[in-house]
Chain A
């Protein structure tokens, strides 16, 4: 039973309830970075890493510290500090121990603090009262789903540049949003495949 429901949460987070295309989260980096496939995938992997890590840290903090002491009201502040601190720490550790990795996606790390998907995953975990295992699966699934969406949009956008002739005002953000809209429309086709809340 538990195995099936974890798989369901995972699939739902990637396909039917994709965090970018259904919940419309993480749109600022989505629009600005999906101009080339390389930056899109670099950001994607950094996001997967940070989301999983912060969800792993935020769950125990919320359930073991904030709830017992009755201070759930300040959880926004706690979560955002944890996220900012984690990003900073990861950046420093990477610089020291994995310079190659740092060169590959180091520039994306500071941007992640204001990527709303990271905070959103932690908020969803509280609102839906997920268990620890479900939270981990949900975090990985959401991050993979976000990466999938941004990579697909970036790839389409790159091909579109070869065809050219987009109206002036539509170039850049306008066309990316239209592509994302069509992609979201196709993801609606997945709905009903798995159902979760």
Chain B
């Protein structure tokens, strides 16, 4: 039992990594990774929704008719996303404004739908929560890694503290969309090479 929990955890955090291995949840990984603070807020939000969805779906898994399971997941996820949206608006209004519509788009983040369909609906509560936590964790650390590179080069700061010397010219492209593509592409390249993964 203990061995299986560990395996679930390791799978989520490395072997079945949602971003570089399964290519899920890319939209938000690209869009909100321009600053580290946005990445952390988004990562926390997604992790919370994953945990809450995992909890509810794996408890209800025997009650959900399989014909309407997709729409059930959607409603469950949307409910928790509203909670995240409200909490962010109240606690960190600046970040909430920066994230804009991307908070609502957690609903269509395929990591959550994918895990609900592939894991929570078939597994017991404990395993589902471990899976949710490890997937949330790997999503968050990926976002933070990408965001560190982009914020450092695009703004010369990390978490809004000036890191680069005064004479440093900001690479504006890093703060914009193309930079997101390039940094994530390199991240996928490196981690896939380490994992020895092919197409």
**A residues whose Cβ falls under 8 Å from a Cβ of B:** 21-28, 30-32, 73-74, 76-77, 80-81, 84-85, 113-116, 118-120, 123-124, 127, 167-175, 177-178, 180-182, 184-185, 188
Contacts and interface: CB of A to CB of B under 8 A. Distances in A.
A169 B189 contact: yes
Nearest to A186: B178
Given A123-B105, A184-B178, A81 B192 contact: no
Given A23-B31, A168-B198, A74 B101 contact: no
Interface of A, secondary structure class, is: helix
Contact of B176 (A77, A80, A188): A188
B178 A185 contact: yes
A76 B30 CA distance: 22
Nearest to A35: B199
A184 B191 CA distance: 24
Interface size class of B (residues with CB under 8 A): 35 or more
Contacts of A31: 23, 26
B163 interface: no
B27 A119 contact: no
Q: For chain B, what secondary structure do more than half of its interface residues adopt (helix, strand, loop), or is it mixed?
A: helix
B110 A114 contact: yes
Nearest to A32: B23
Contacts of B181: 177-178, 180-181, 184
B177 interface: yes
A114 B179 CA distance: 25
Interface in B84-98: 85-86
B197 interface: yes
Given A169-B188, A185-B173, A28 B101 contact: no
A24 B30 contact: yes
Given A24-B27, A77-B82, A120 B182 contact: no
A106 B174 CA distance: 38
Nearest to B188: A174
Given A84-B70, A119-B108, A127-B101, A171 B199 contact: yes
Contact of A77 (B78, B110, B190): B78
Q: Which 3 A-B pairs have the closest CB atoms?
A: A181-B181, A169-B193, A169-B192
A171 B101 contact: no
Contacts of B20: 173
A76 B189 contact: no
Contacts of A170: 185, 188-189, 192
Contact of A119 (B71, B75, B107, B188): B107
Contacts of B79: 77
Contact of B104 (A21, A76, A177, A180): A76
Nearest to A111: B110
A76 B173 contact: no
B100 interface: yes
B181 to A, nearest CB: 3
